[in-house]
Amino acid sequence: MTDGIASDRQDKLKALRAEGVDPFPARVAKGQPIAEVLEGFDDKLESTVTIAGRLSQLRDFGKLRFSHLSDRSGSLQIGFERDALQDFWPVRKKVESNDLISVTGVLGHTKKGERTLWAKDVTLAAKALRPAPEKWHGLQDQEQRYRMRYVDLFANPGVRETFATRSKIVRETRHYFDSLDYLEVETPILQPLFGGAAARPFTTHHNALDMPLFLRIAPELYLKRLIVGGMERVYEIGRVFRNEGISTRHNPEFTMLESYEAFADYKDIMNRVEGLFQHLVDKVLDGEGKVTFREKEYDLKPPFQKARYLDLFAEQNPGVDWFEHEQVIARAKELGLKVDGIEPAKLANDVFEATVEDTLIGPVFVHDYPTAISPLAKRMTDDPRVAERFELFVAGMELGNAFSELNDPIDQEQRFEEQVVDKDDETPGEVDLDYVTALEFGMPPAGGLGIGIDRLCMLLTGSTSIRDIVLFPLLRRIDPNANQGSEPTAPTEQPPEANKPK
């Protein structure tokens, strides 16, 4: 297992070289996509075409052998006949399953009627030194699938399709916002202060400026600076980084969509979200809004249900007032939640999450959140304890978060300062005063939205784990020095202190 390179394949490689065959030529005839060849196949019989791709298992009959060749678009059977392949025939056994080849041949059928490219000329495009996984079961081992996604992609049917769907979701999301005259922008990933969400950041350091930097946990505060600047409608789809736990719904780096629209409020943004879902249902799900996720069916076709946060809280916690700390504490204890050292608002929200979130089958907009847990959202005029904010839930999973953006710089600075006062690992050590300055120049009333693209893709592809829609999910590094010594060995290098929040 140390190696994995099959010696018989290396022998074949050497033998090919000895016979003057380049096992890794710079280029071969690539021909046309297989799907194109298959289209109107019967009208093209006897014509000569070239295709290129990966060879699957060979079925050998002495003077005749069959195999399928696959490319990104499809697969087609290749027929290798001794009498048609003078040059290739003698080296045929050194070209085997998993190798990449280019084949020129004549289209036809077998006696059994299978569409077949009868090979006239075969060129090795790249020798595979490792064998393919088991032909019937493919690669089953989850760890190997994630560590060696390159194998998973070609060996397991459906994986490429899932990622093609992901690509389409992102593309159609862009189309949707583009069609509304939004500008796609790019804001800093390396940030001197982090904000726009509550999460522990990854930290790094810039050498030339001798300055600590954070990988962004959200692009929010930069995007809203653009609204101040008059860009009025902007969105960004990009990676954000949160130094938190890993689960079926969490990867340390994930893709977030954020959009901001001047002169819109959270109700307008609700309409945008429904518009986006309608667009995705039409373009990605072919108009069929029903998806199956974790064995349950959901209808993603808008309109979606709506429910007030405090109403939901009251339903599940009768007699408990969200704003009455003593009542919340009693309820939290009843639920077995951690109570000590937890902020009142945070605790009340913990109770909400413990009692309500699982009931949110959805899709449902939960709206009008307490201001205390919404530091960037505008207060409601009739009740300042509540903010104009909603979250979209599907399958108990938070998919999106939106609000009427707080544009009062004085209120904003106060709320930032409250965060800094109860400073923990998840809040910056200082207020982003430049953001407050930006607001002081005047930000139009605006509606903003954040959507977790990965979770959206999970839902639309029916993937139970975020790792199934992230091409290369983060896994622990395999330490080549581990397990070597007779006693447990400490890692030779300690992780940099900078990554440990103090």
Partner RNA sequence: GCCUCCGUAGCUCAGCUGGUAGAGCAGCGGAUUCUUAAUCCGCGGGUCAAAGGUUCAAGUCCUUUCGGAGGUACCA
- Please tell me whether residue 236 binds RNA under the rule CB under 7 A: no
At closest approach, how far in Å is the CB of 449 from RNA?
14
- Please tell me whether residue 349 binds RNA under the rule CB under 7 A: yes
Q: Report how far residue 361's alpha carbon sits from residue 116's, in angstroms, rounded to the nearest whole number.
A: 49
The answer to whether the beta carbons of residues 239 and 263 sit under 8 Å apart is no
Measured from the CB atom, is 207 or 486 closer to RNA? 486
How many alpha carbons fall within 13 Å on the CB side of residue 387?
A: 23
At closest approach, how far in Å is the CB of 265 from RNA?
19
Measured in degrees and rounded to the nearest 5, phi and psi for residue 22 equal -80, 115
Nearest Cα to Cα of residue 293 among 397, 366, 392, 365: 397
Here the tokens at position 176 are 């949707």
Residue 391: helix, strand or coil by DSSP? strand
- Please tell me whether residue 6 binds RNA under the rule CB under 7 A: yes
At closest approach, how far in Å is the CB of 147 from RNA?
8
3-state secondary structure 212-243: EEEECCCCHHHHHHHHHCCCCEEEEEEEEECC
- Which helix or strand (DSSP H or E) is residue 437 part of? helix 433-440
Here the tokens at position 304 are 């979606």
Binding map of RNA across residues 299-338, x = CB under 7 A, - = no contact: ---------------------------------------x
Measured from the CB atom, is 302 or 344 closer to RNA? 344
Nearest Cα to Cα of residue 194 among 174, 212, 214, 210: 214
Distances in Å between the alpha carbon of 120 and those of 31, 81, 113?
14, 9, 20
Among the candidate windows 131-139, 161-169, 255-263, 296-304, which touches RNA by CB under 7 A? 131-139
For 159-210, give the DSSP string. Answer: HHHHHHHHHHHHHHHHHHHHHTTPEE----SEESS--SS-SPPPEEEETTTT
Residue 123: helix, strand or coil by DSSP? strand
The footprint of RNA on residues 212-231 (CB under 7 A) is: none
Distances in Å between the alpha carbon of 129 and those of 9, 63, 132, 156?
5, 26, 10, 19
Measured from the CB atom, is 143 or 288 closer to RNA? 143
The footprint of RNA on residues 430-489 (CB under 7 A) is: 464-465, 467, 473, 475-479, 482-484, 486-488
Among the candidate windows 113-121, 185-193, 313-321, 438-446, which touches RNA by CB under 7 A? 113-121
- Please tell me whether residue 96 binds RNA under the rule CB under 7 A: yes
Q: Which residue carries 């050498």 as its tokens?
A: 207
Q: At what angle do helices 433-440 and 409-421 cross, to 10 degrees?
A: 170
Among the candidate windows 6-14, 298-306, 324-332, 431-439, which touches RNA by CB under 7 A? 6-14
How many alpha carbons fall within 13 Å on the CB side of residue 492?
A: 7
The footprint of RNA on residues 132-151 (CB under 7 A) is: 132-144, 146
- Please tell me whether residue 129 binds RNA under the rule CB under 7 A: no
What residue type is 152 in one-letter code? Answer: D
Binding map of RNA across residues 28-47, x = CB under 7 A, - = no contact: --------------------
At closest approach, how far in Å is the CB of 309 from RNA?
11
At closest approach, how far in Å is the CB of 80 from RNA?
10
Among the candidate windows 24-32, 106-114, 182-190, 277-285, which touches RNA by CB under 7 A? 106-114
Nearest Cα to Cα of residue 452 among 298, 278, 255: 255
At closest approach, how far in Å is the CB of 76 from RNA?
10
Binding map of RNA across residues 145-184, x = CB under 7 A, - = no contact: -x--------------------------------------
At closest approach, how far in Å is the CB of 396 from RNA?
10
Measured from the CB atom, is 142 or 499 closer to RNA? 142
- Please tell me whether residue 502 binds RNA under the rule CB under 7 A: no
The footprint of RNA on residues 70-89 (CB under 7 A) is: 77, 79, 81-83
Residue 51: helix, strand or coil by DSSP? strand
Measured from the CB atom, is 131 or 444 closer to RNA? 131
The footprint of RNA on residues 243-262 (CB under 7 A) is: 244-248, 250
How many residues bind to RNA according to rule CB under 7 A?
81
Measured from the CB atom, is 284 or 360 closer to RNA? 360
Measured from the CB atom, is 138 or 289 closer to RNA? 138
The footprint of RNA on residues 51-70 (CB under 7 A) is: 57-64, 66, 68
